[in-house]
Structure 1
Amino acid sequence: MRKVAVLTGTRADYGLLRGLLRQIVQDPELELQLLVTGTHLRDDFGRTEREIERDGFRIAASVPIWSGDDTRAAVAADVGAALPAFAQALTALAPDVLVVLGDRLEAFAAATAATILSVPVAHIHGGEVTEGAMDEALRHSITKMSYLHFASTEEHRHRVIQLGEDPQRVYFLGAPIVDALAGMDLQSPSDVEKEFGIRLPQPTALVTFHPAVMDVAPPDQLVEELLAGLLAVDGLHIVLTGSNSDIGTSDVRALIAAFVAENGDRVDFVESFGQRGYLSAMAAASVVAGNSSSTVLEAPVLGIPSVLVGDRQKGRPLSPSTATPEPHREAIAAALRSALQGRSGATEAAIFGRPGFALRAAAVLRESALPHPPRKTFHDLPKESTS
Structure 2
Amino acid sequence: MRTIAVVTGTRADYGLLRGLLRAIEDDPQLNLRLIVTGTHLSDAFGHTVAEIERDGFRIAASVPIWSGTDTPVAAAEDVGRALPGYAEALKEIDPDVVVVLGDRLEAFAVAAAATILSVPIAHIHGGELTEGAMDDALRHSITKMAYLHFTSTADHRRRVIQLGEDPERVFFHGAPIVDILDTFDVMPPREVEEQFGIRLPEPTALVTFHPAIMDVAPASELVGELLGGLLAVDELHIVITGSNSDIGTEAVRERIARFVAEHPDRVDYVESFGQRAYLSAMRAASVVAGNSSSTVLEAPVLGVPSVLVGDRQKGRPIAASVEVPEPSAEAIADALRRRIAGGPVTDHDSPFGAPGFAARTAATLRNAEIPRPPKKTFHDLEQGDDDER
**Distance in 2 between residues matched to 1:96 and 1:347, nearest whole Å:** 43
- Equivalences for residues 269-348 of structure 1 within 5 A: 269-346=269-346, 348=348
Q: Which amino acid aligns with 1:91?
A: K
CA contact (8 A) 1:178 1:349 kept: no
| Deviation for aligned residue 1:381 | 1.1
| Deviation for aligned residue 1:345 | 2.9
SS at match of 1:340: helix
Question: Residue 89 in 1 paired to residue 57 in 2?
Answer: no
| Deviation for aligned residue 1:286 | 0.1
| Deviation for aligned residue 1:138 | 0.3
CA contact (8 A) 1:82 1:109 kept: yes
Normalising by structure 1, report the TM-score. 0.98
SS at match of 1:358: helix
Q: Between the two proteins, what is the percent identity of the paired residues?
A: 72
Residues 319-348 of structure 1 show CA distances to partners (whole Å, capped at 9, x for unaligned) of: 000000000000000000000113343364
**Distance in 2 between residues matched to 1:69 and 1:344, nearest whole Å:** 40
**Distance in 2 between residues matched to 1:203 and 1:364, nearest whole Å:** 44
**Distance in 2 between residues matched to 1:295 and 1:194, nearest whole Å:** 25
Q: CA separation of 1:251/1:121 partners in 2, compared to 1, >3 Å: closer, same or farther?
A: same
Cα-Cα RMSD: 1.2
| Deviation for aligned residue 1:384 | 12
| Deviation for aligned residue 1:43 | 0.3
**Distance in 2 between residues matched to 1:93 and 1:35, nearest whole Å:** 10
CA contact (8 A) 2:36 2:62 kept: yes
Q: CA separation of 1:2/1:248 partners in 2, compared to 1, >3 Å: closer, same or farther?
A: same
Instruction: Flag structure 2 segments of 5+ consecutive residues without an equivalent.
Output: none
- Equivalences for residues 225-236 of structure 1 within 5 A: 225-236=225-236
Identify the residue that residue 106 of structure 1 maps to in structure 2. 106
Residues 36-66 of structure 1 show CA distances to partners (whole Å, capped at 9, x for unaligned) of: 0000000010000000000000000000000
SS at match of 2:371: coil
CA contact (8 A) 1:130 1:316 kept: yes
CA contact (8 A) 1:150 1:361 kept: yes
Identify the residue that residue 177 of structure 2 maps to in structure 1. 177
CA contact (8 A) 1:300 1:347 kept: no
CA contact (8 A) 2:321 2:345 kept: no
**Distance in 1 between residues matched to 2:347 and 2:40, nearest whole Å:** 31
Question: Residue 72 in 1 paired to residue 76 in 2?
Answer: no
Q: Which amino acid aligns with 1:353?
A: G
| Deviation for aligned residue 1:383 | 9.1
CA contact (8 A) 2:286 2:344 kept: no
Identify the residue that residue 166 of structure 1 maps to in structure 2. 166
**Distance in 2 between residues matched to 1:178 and 1:333, nearest whole Å:** 30
SS at match of 2:113: helix
**Distance in 1 between residues matched to 2:291 and 2:384, nearest whole Å:** 37
**Number of residue-to-residue matches in the alignment:** 385
Identify the residue that residue 221 of structure 2 maps to in structure 1. 221
**Distance in 2 between residues matched to 1:371 and 1:38, nearest whole Å:** 29
CA contact (8 A) 2:45 2:272 kept: yes
Residues 324-382 of structure 1 show CA distances to partners (whole Å, capped at 9, x for unaligned) of: 00000000000000001133433645310000000000000000111110001100013
SS at match of 1:352: coil
Q: Which amino acid aligns with 1:31?
A: N
**Distance in 1 between residues matched to 2:125 and 2:297, nearest whole Å:** 13
CA contact (8 A) 1:301 1:346 kept: no
Normalising by structure 2, report the TM-score. 0.98
CA contact (8 A) 1:238 1:267 kept: yes
Identify the residue that residue 374 of structure 2 maps to in structure 1. 374
CA contact (8 A) 2:29 2:366 kept: yes
**Distance in 2 between residues matched to 1:138 and 1:353, nearest whole Å:** 24
